[in-house]
Amino acid sequence: MRWLETQPDLCLETNLRNEVANQEFRGPAFEEVVILFLLRTFCRPTALNSVFKFHGTVSEWAGVETQIVGRVGDMDNVFDSPPRYPSLGVVTYAKTIEDIIRWPKESPVSSVLVPTNLFGPDMILKCRGLLLMGQARSYLTGNTNELDARTTAKALNSLNPAYWFIKEV
């Protein structure tokens, strides 16, 4: 991996840059960038409110530090930097509801799950004491500070379990 990162045509930055430039792969490439950011950010204890902007009344847990973990044997182990267990940073892809249910209990289990597109969240990351579920949304035109209300509402609704595994929110 260290050697690959020294190769201009093979490194992670070039790979992501090429995918983001390709209209067909822009969405999945953006999700990959978000996952990489979260892995690198939460590889050390970090408070959620130092990364995410909360609206309204902010819960206490938003200020508690957490760290990405994955299962090795019967124990949760931190995904640290440099990683003692590099496989914890590998993404697991789930095609069915059974795969999603099994994921947190599997041994070993990676720290990141990308579920089927019918599930709702684009990604789930296992942290110490919680699961981060997220929708990755980007925009190229319009307001430069936030998504439009329709896109935001659709993303938030997709995180509601009542809408999981239905074709349209």
Q: Residue 169 above 50 pLDDT?
A: no
Give the count of alpha carbons within 13 A of 65, CB side only: 6
- What would the pLDDT profile of 30-60 be if each residue is shown by its tens digit? 888 889 899 989 999 999 999 998 888 988 8
Query: Whole-prediction pTM value?
Result: 0.77
pLDDT at site 46: 95
Share of the chain above pLDDT 90, in %: 17
Instruction: Please report, for residues 22, 23, 65, 83, 136, the alpha-carbon distance to residue 26 in angstroms, rounded to integers and kept in the order given.
Output: 6, 5, 32, 28, 11
Residue 128 belongs to a domain: yes
According to DSSP, residue 68 is labeled: B
Residue 154 belongs to a domain: no
Residue 120 belongs to a domain: yes
Residue 168 belongs to a domain: no
Question: Range of 47's domain?
Answer: 2-51+64-136
User: Lowest-pLDDT range, 56-65, 82-91, 117-126, 136-145?
Assistant: 136-145
pLDDT at site 135: 84
Output b/e per residue, 57-68; b: 16+ Cβ within 10 A: eeeeeeeeebbb
Domain count, the chain: 1
Residue 20 belongs to a domain: yes
Among 81, 58, 55, CA closest to 68: 81
